[in-house]
Amino acid sequence: MNKLDLQDPDINNVQIKVCSRCIYDERVSNISFDANGICNYCHQVDKLKEEYGTGKSKGTLQLNKILDKIKLEGANKKYDCIVGVSGGTDSSYLLYLAKKWGLRPLAVHFDNTWNTAIATMNIHKLLNHLEIDLYTYVVDNKEMDDIIRSFILAGVAESEAPNDLGFAYLLRIAARKYSIKYILEGHSFTEEGITPLGRNYFDGKYIKSIHQKFGKRKMKTYPLMTFTRFLTSIIFDQVKFIRPLWYISYSKKDAQEHLNQLCGWEYYGGHHLENRSAAFFHTIYLPGKFNSDFRNNTISSQVRIGNCSREDGWSIYNTAPIVEPDLLTYVKKRLEISDIEFEHIMNKQPLSWKDYPTYKKRFERLKGLFYLLAKLNLVPKSFYIKYCS
Amino acid sequence: MLRTRIIPVLLLKGESLVKTIKFKNFTYVGDPCNSLRIFNELEVDELMVLDISASKEKKSPNFSLIKDMCSECFMPLSYGGGIRTIEHAKKLFDLGIEKIVLNTYAIENHLFISQLSSYFGSQAIIVSIDIRKRRFAKKDVFSNTFKSYLNLDPIDWAKQAEELGAGELLLTSVDNEGTWQGMDFDLIKNISQNISIPLIAHGGAGNLDHIKKAIHEGGASAVGLGSMVTFQKKGMGVLIHMPKLENFN
């Protein structure tokens, strides 16, 4: 099944060019190397660290200013910010921090009905301990399965897009429902890196068109972020997106230990593995069909911050990912894909998002508008970079 | 002393789990198999799944889904919904269902209870009784399938079900279901005093005190939980969990 183009696990025997600082290699999209063999993504991380004062007093000062503003603007409300939760490390730790900083967060969870027990239990333990309220949206399971299945039948890589975009829109829905003006995101560029540009892409039109073509059911409960809904939310709700972990020093490993001691929170064994459809995507579907392995994102970051040597990182990256036993059987059964059909899907020539209708051209035309909105923090800066260029 | 039996009662609508309030206003809860998997990890002692759309849509039990659920579930699983023949029951037991729950068809055909009971033994037969208060009048047995009152005294019907061969009763108060505001303790007491088979009280539990009261004052032998295992807390989001029962027995 695994089609990963694995290289020699010994970094000294490798024939392709690998960054001299992290483990990104020449196959990473839009990569370039400087005279010292350091890749542009390492430089990007350095630049962001400088800009956000990550882990330094500059960063703390900037963040404190933002926190004060959140408290002030939310003073008369039941909640002053939203934190999206998945049961994973970053969002869990961010909730803990939010509470420690004196914020009054509402936890928001997009339930795609593929949760692992460990994720569900983590959310419960943590919210109970911190006394934080939860807003959940559960999609009709059969409808969600139909949408995920349609992406797999379409032969494109973005089978997790319906989850990611559904979650993104749900945060906006919850913000409107409770008139909350700030959404905190648990992303850390030092721990996870910046996703290389051009690797994958998704938007509301992409999801709608793929589902219309390959789905069997009607889209009734899935929160689809169409262009109009997106723009309406930006203009009327004026929610700001904040990534607190960009300003402070943050270690995933320490966070996990801390959460465990705090409330018995447990680690689930890998980035994104707290959800079973995400686990399928990362450990089976992407490596098997697209010869693609997102682990280099996290591993490169771990090498950059010195948690792991370059040699060890490269060796891990070039060893096939560990797949949960039974996961594939479960996915096939749930998505009603037979063994033969699955084999056929995995062997078929991969297609790209460019083969289906999307809003990409429209976002590019409106580049100026989104530049302004990103300046005002009304859309994430990463959105502007990814969608408008 | 026996351990208090706490039974998550999960409602199946089509192929999705839902939760209702007073048998209406359903909310999606999740995928049945995935949810059972989560309950498995939570080390629940027993579970009950009721298909609330089968009888209404005149469908037989969804055997392929039940088969998948049984394979995800390591604890005893009771099932109700759309059971109308001995063959249905037989197939369910073959798939690994521990007890079957009868409601609509037991009302239509009382003797069905006796037939099943003599065939499979009364310990495997739960009769489910839904009670709703009539406007300006007393409580009556209610059929959700036909959306009508049956002009049956709850105590009489409970006694009759026992005589016909039910091994256990599931008593649901429609007015309390999904409200978190407490159970119909009078009703539970009235019924439990008049029958000798175990009674599962269901509908309205919102905290541990409610559960205790149903057992100690109401005389129920088990409590069925819906909202309490489905939502973080009253008015909040869906989050499957089991209440801590340590300080309980």
The pLDDT tens digits of the residues spanning B220-241 come to: 999 999 999 999 999 999 999 9
* Chain B environment of A120 (Cβ under 8 Å): 38, 239-241
Tell me which residue of A334, A319, A340, A224 sits closest to A277, measured CA to CA.
Answer: A334
Residues B17, B15: Cα–Cα separation, whole Å? 7
Largest CA distance in chain B: 47
Q: Does A10 touch chain B (CB under 8 A)?
A: no
List, in order, residues 6 or more apart from B93 with CB less than 8 Å away. B100, B120, B124
Decide if B241 contacts B30 (C-beta within 8 A). no
Residue A139, chain B, CB below 8 Å: the answer is yes
Interface touch A138/B29, C-beta < 8 Å? yes
Element spanning B189, H or E = helix B185-194
Look up tokens 């018995």; give the residue.
A264
Which residue in B33, B233, B239 is closest to A120 by CB distance?
A: B239
Distance from CA of B38 to the nearest CA of A (A): 4
pLDDT, one tens digit per residue, over A145-156 is 999 999 999 999
| Overall average pLDDT of the A316-333 stretch | 88
**3-state percent helix, strand, coil for chain B, nearest multiple of 5:** 35, 25, 40
User: Beta strand pairing status for B5-13 and B16-21?
Assistant: antiparallel
Work out the minimum CA distance from A120 to partner chain B, whole angstroms: 7
Average pLDDT on A337-351 reads 95
Give the pLDDT score at B211.
Answer: 95
Q: How far is A220 from chain B (nearest CA, A)?
A: 12
Q: Work out the pLDDT band at B1, boundaries 50, 70, 90.
A: very low
Q: From the CA of A69, how many Å to the nearest CA of chain B?
A: 27
The DSSP code sequence of A302-351 is: HHHTTSS-HHHHHHHHTSPPP--TTHHHHHHHHHT--HHHHHHHHHSPP-
**Letter for the amino acid at A274?**
E
Across the interface, whether the CB atoms of A141 and B34 are under 8 A apart is answered: yes
Cβ pair A124:B238 closer than 8 A = no
Task: Provide the 3-class DSSP secondary structure of residue B224.
Answer: strand
Whether the pLDDT of residue A376 is over 90: the answer is no
Record: contact A136-B237, CB cut-off 8 A: yes
> Is residue A319 very low, low, confident or very high in pLDDT (cuts 50, 70, 90)?
confident
Shortest distance between the Cα of B127 and any Cα of chain A, in A, equals: 30
Residue B175 contacts residue B202 (beta carbons within 8 Å): no
Average pLDDT on B46-52 reads: 97
The two tokens of residue A227 are 């262009």
Amino acid, res. B100: I
Helices (H), chain A: 40-52, 57-73, 89-100, 117-130, 141-154, 161-177, 189-192, 204-214, 227-232, 252-263, 276-280, 286-290, 295-304, 310-317, 327-335, 339-347, 360-365, 367-375, 381-388
**Which of A113, A124, A134 lies at the smallest CB-CB distance from B30?**
A113
- pLDDT tens per residue, range A103-112: 999 999 999 9
Each residue of A231-280: pLDDT tens digit? 999 989 999 999 999 999 999 999 999 999 999 999 987 777 889 999 99
CB contact residues (below 8 A), chain B span 67-126, against chain A: 68
Q: Which residue of B has its CA nearest to A133?
A: B236
Question: B241 and A133 in contact by Cβ < 8 A?
Answer: no
Residue in B29, B41, B236 closest to A117 by CB: B41
ipTM: 0.90
pTM of the model: 0.92
Complete DSSP assignment for A46-76: HHHHHHHTTTSHHHHHHHHHHHHHHHHHTTT
In a mutagenesis test of the A interface, which of B232, B234, B241 is the best target, namely the one with the most A β-carbons within 10 Å?
B232
Determine whether B130 is an active site residue: yes
Q: Which of A120, A133, A137 sits opposite B240 (nearest CB)?
A: A120
Choose the weakest-confidence range: A334-348, A369-383, B177-191, B198-212: A369-383
Identify which of B80, B76, B167, B158 has the alpha carbon closest to the alpha carbon of residue B122.
Answer: B167
Q: Which of A141, A276, A333 has the CB atom closest to B16's CB atom?
A: A141
What is the per-residue pLDDT for A3? 65
A194 or B96, higher pLDDT: B96
A114 touching chain B per CB within 8 A: yes
The answer to whether A109 contacts B239, with C-beta atoms less than 8 Å apart, is: yes
Residue contact B239–A121, C-beta within 8 A: no
Do the chains contact at A111 and B30, CB–CB below 8 Å? Answer: yes
Set B31, B45, B94, B130: catalytic member? B130
At A29, the pLDDT band (50, 70, 90 cuts) reads confident
Q: Give chain B positions within 8 Å (CB) of A133.
A: 232-233, 236-237
Which of B10, B16, B19 should one mutate to test binding to chain A, selecting the residue with the greatest count of A CBs within 10 A?
A: B16
Q: Which residues pair with B5 in a beta bridge?
A: B222
Chain B residues inside the 8 Å CB shell of A140: 16, 28
User: So what's the pLDDT on residue B246?
Assistant: 62
**pLDDT higher for A199 or B205?**
B205
CB-CB under 8 Å, B34 with A138: no
Return the structure tokens found at B122. 């009364």
Torsion of CA A259, A264, A269, A275, to 10 degrees: -90
Mean pLDDT of chain A: 92
Compute the average pLDDT of residues A32-37.
95
How far apart CA A229 and CA A232 sit, in angstroms, is 5
CA distance A146 to chain B (A): 13
Q: Is the pLDDT of residue A296 over 60?
A: yes
